[in-house]
Structure 1
Amino acid sequence: MTEMILLDPVRVLVGPDQPLQEKGAALLREGRLEAFGDQAREAARTAGIGSTAAGHQLLAPCLVDVHSLLPEPFQGPGETLESLVRSAAAGGYGQLALLPEASGNRRELPDRLRGFERSDCDVAVHLWGGFSQGGQGEQLTPHADLIEAGAVGLSDGNNMPPVPLLDRAFTLGESGVSPVLIPPLDAVLRGEGLLREGPEALRAGWPTDPLSSETLPLSQLAQLQQEHPERKLTLMGLSTAAGVGLLKQMSLRPAATVSWWHVLTSNSSSAATATSWFVSPSLGNRTDREALVEGLSEGLIQAIAVHASPLDDEECLLPPDQRQRGIAGHQHVLPSLWQTLVVSSGWTAERLWDVLSFGPSRILGVEEECLTQGSNRWILFDPDVTWRPTRSDPWASKAANQPCLDQPLSGRVVQCGLRTPAFPAD
């Protein structure tokens, strides 16, 4: 974008705890916010710039993804850091927080936190430092050193460390006020289960995941938070109605996140396929999905995460029970949730942004996104645009396990001020 554009009228959401402006105005110059409201109109009039009506569109702060995975950030046939930040920005995301991987990118020492900054990109990439050595849950990594080196917090990714090791870490307190992101997931109880236990999973014929694989570790984590109220325990990826119920009963509640896919669908959905069913934590039924939405509405759950887990084409050829669980696709999140939560459930744009941007920022302990003059950190979302995601789109993720590919989506980020890496030469 090199020209000057006056959006008038346009819906404007400036930042957290601010009401949506239904008939606002914004002047954009070379990708930056020049002015708002009457000041924008006067500046455009002086420059002889006509207005562009965008009354149904929304000018808003960038979104924030509180946790995702990226197995091969710098090379490989699938998703890389370059392709991820490009597709994430196209989906409205201005910040990403990457989890340690089960192998390779463990980020257990301060020097492993380097190399993720790009001078040609405005998408901020935060890194979760590894909680235990090798993700084995036996020995702690140097927590204080990792935090001092820039880790946004500590996590073992999809693995829950043993409670005694968590207790030891919280007693030592080297994480300080930084978040410790833990999934309430007992891998032994889950076993080979692919779908949450219930009639839907039985009818589908896949191995089932018992409810206790979430509720038992959740009860243990609740007790741990009671014993260490000064620690910032964060529950990663609640997935069941029972889990939400337990969270509601806690007198001292840790922060919590939920994956966008668990908010959007369930294992009883007719649209579910072998590609999109198998995620971590396991997908529950319609009652679970409704409880998660209610938990978000009541503030029990503070953030919707993308929790992308990109796979390449070769990995996706494996049977579902032999490949890594998960889906990817940052560009699919905002359109899907807008339709599900705003259009169908009556949410306001302010509430949606609270769980997609402001809440995630608060969990990460970073400054909340907001629209400011002179900044290029903005997105323009058109809820009425219909489009069909394809992998041939240069802005698309390289992941092969995107659940909405080749399906019509309503709503799209049509403009974004963020700089992203240039496309590689053919």
Structure 2
Amino acid sequence: MTETMLLDPVQVLVASDQPLQVGSAALFEDDRLIALGDEARARARERGVSGHDRGQQLLAPCLVDPHSSLPHPFTGSGETLETLINAAGRAGYGQLALLPNGESERDSPERLKGFQPKDCDLKVHLWGSFSHRGEGERLSSHADLLQAGAIGLSAGEQMPSANLIDRALMLGEMAGAPVLIAPHDSSLRGDGMIREGVETLRAGWPADPTISETLPMGQLLELQRRHGKRKLVLMNLSTADGVEMLSHTPSPALATVSWWHLVQDRSKQTAETTQWFVTPSIGGEADRNALIDGLREGTINAVAVHGMPLDDEECLLPPDQRPKGLSGHHLVLPTLWKHLVIDLGWSVNQLWQALSFGPARLLGQDEERLSIGSNRWLLFDPEQTWDHTRDAPYAPKAANQPWIGVPIRGQVVSCGLKIPTNQAD
């Protein structure tokens, strides 16, 4: 939008503490929201601006991704910081938090520089590395990392020893900043590709036992009990047993879940669908349903994209040799709208709690909201159908996106954020 425009009618979600407004109106000027409701209509009449019927579309706050990976932010032939910001911003994400692991582990303050582009409204947050070089042997300088701007501390995909975590929480240099730890033990997972179950055996893939999550999770929940003032966050809960443990602990930690675990389970796994291999492993239908219930009830606090972009060369490797993960910020809202809102009857407020308000609080940031004079908004059309291709304008550069070539229903058709790579459009 580059001129004065009235959307009337349009559905409007202003903030977490306000109900969805159906049949409202919104007036924009140069991508900034200048009025809502009857005031928008009145000011549009004064200016001689006619309305555009967008009654099926939703005007809402931007989305927030609490953690994703970007191993090669400034180099490489695949996804870079520039292409990720461009794709995620156009998908409605106003905030991204990047995990510290990559070609240069962010374990020191100087490695936190250069990630926030100038004149860019999408906020790039950085997790600082929990341990020196990400090796899990000794602690990094937590106080220095946080003072330099780290959003919190993360150990990436593999949980460090309980002793090291206990020592860090006891020292308390992180104060109230989040500490993101994956309840994942790779030694217990072994060569597992899919969570254990009948379907895993039928597909012929090595099984990942449930205890690869529940045993380390028990340690983390005990550490949270011992250090109740710390903000421990369990990254990517993936099993029904894990949800059960979290819901019954007297001192629950915060938790996230990957969007992929909410829409897929091993009952649909075949030997050919290698993009399904992620960390943590995909489980069964009971796991997926428990994760959805935990998210709806607030046991799980946020949905993460948890993107792990791979290039074409990496995707040619055998499944058991290539990094596990997938990408696709632009797929998250359309997919969860279909699975949670349409199929399960979730409200818009519930979905935005999972995709925006909850993630922002988890990161210690102010919640996204629609504010007069601000350009932090997205416009989502649940009826819009689009072709998912890698060569589309502003498409992510990652090679490991699911559903390439499949038409997708639901799309962010406009977003007010100023992104350096799409200002001219």
TM-score range, shorter chain: over 0.9
- Please list the CA deviations of residues 287-336 of structure 1 after superposition, one character each: whole Å capped at 9, or x if unmatched: 10000000011100010000000000000000110000000010000000
Deviation at 1:271, TM superposition (A): 8.0
1:5-56 residue CA offsets vs partner (Å, 9 max, x unmatched): 1011110000112100011110011111011111111110011000111111
Q: Distance in 2 between matches of 1:2 and 1:284?
A: 46
Report what 1:292 is aligned to: 291
Structure 2 CA distance for partners of 1:330 and 1:119, relative to 1, 3 Å? same
Measured against aligned partners, the alpha-carbon deviations of 1:318-374 in whole angstroms (never above 9, x if no partner) come to 011000000001000000000000000000000000010000000000111000011
Query: Counterpart amino acid of 1:100?
Result: P
Count residues in correspondence: 424
- Tell me whether 1:408 sits opposite 2:404 in the alignment: no
Aligned position for 2:197: 198
Q: In the TM superposition, what is the alpha-carbon distance from 1:256 to its structure 2 partner? A: 0.2
C-alpha distance in 2, partners of 1:91/1:155? 25
Deviation at residue 421 of structure 1 after TM alignment = 2.2
Q: Distance in 2 between matches of 1:198 and 1:312?
A: 31
Contact 1:379–1:416, Cα closer than 8 Å, also in 2:
yes
RMSD: 1.3
Alpha carbons 2:8, 2:55 under 8 Å: kept = yes
State the distance in 2 between where 1:45 and 1:149 align: 49
What percent identity do the matched residue pairs reach? 58
| Inter-CA distance 22–271: structure 2 relative to 1 (3 Å threshold) | farther
Question: 2:348 maps to which residue?
Answer: 349
Structure 1, unmatched stretches of 5+, are none
Q: Given the alignment of the two structures, is residue 110 of structure 1 paired with residue 109 of structure 2, yes or no?
A: yes
Contact 2:13 2:59 in 1 (8 A): yes
Question: 1:74 is paired with a residue of what secondary structure?
Answer: coil
- For residues 272 and 84 of structure 1, do their structure 2 counterparts lie closer, same or farther at Cα, with a shift above 3 Å needed? farther
Q: Aligned to 1:386, what secondary structure does the other structure show? A: strand
TM-score (norm 2): 0.98
Unaligned 5+ segments in structure 2 are: none
2:45 is matched with which residue?
A: 45
| Equivalent residue, structure 2, for 1:32 | 32
Task: After TM superposition, give the deviation of residue 272 of structure 1 in Å.
Answer: 8.8
Deviation of 1:116 (Å) = 0.6
Match of 2:156 in 1: 157
Which whole-Å deviations, capped at 9, do the CAs of 1:61-120 have from their partners, x for residues lacking one? 00000000001111210000000011001111110000011x423111111110011113
What amino acid maps onto 1:151 in structure 2?
A
Please state whether the residue corresponding to 1:268 is helix, strand or coil: helix
Match of 2:138 in 1: 139
Structure 2 residue identity aligned to 1:199: V
Alpha-carbon separation, structure 1, partners of 2:360 and 2:147: 19
Distance 1:330 1:404 in 2: 13
Cross-structure match for 1:389: 388
| Corresponding residue number in structure 2 for 1:16 | 16
Which one is further off, 387-396 or 227-236? 387-396
Give the 3-state SS of the residue equivalent to 1:321 in structure 2. Answer: coil
- Give the superposition deviation at 1:240: 0.4
Which residue is 2:338 aligned to?
Answer: 339
Instruction: Give the structure-1-normalised TM-score.
Output: 0.98
Determine the structure 1 residue equivalent to 2:363. 364
Whether contact under 8 Å (1:309, 1:328) holds in the other structure is yes
Distance 1:423 1:149 in 2: 29
SS at match of 2:266: coil
Alpha-carbon distance change, 398 to 151 in structure 1, aligned in 2, over 3 angstroms = same
The offset of 1:230, in angstroms, is 0.4
Matching residue of 2:54: 54
State the alpha-carbon separation in 2 of the partners of residues 89 and 327 from structure 1.
18
Structure 1 distance, partners of 2:262, 2:343, is 13
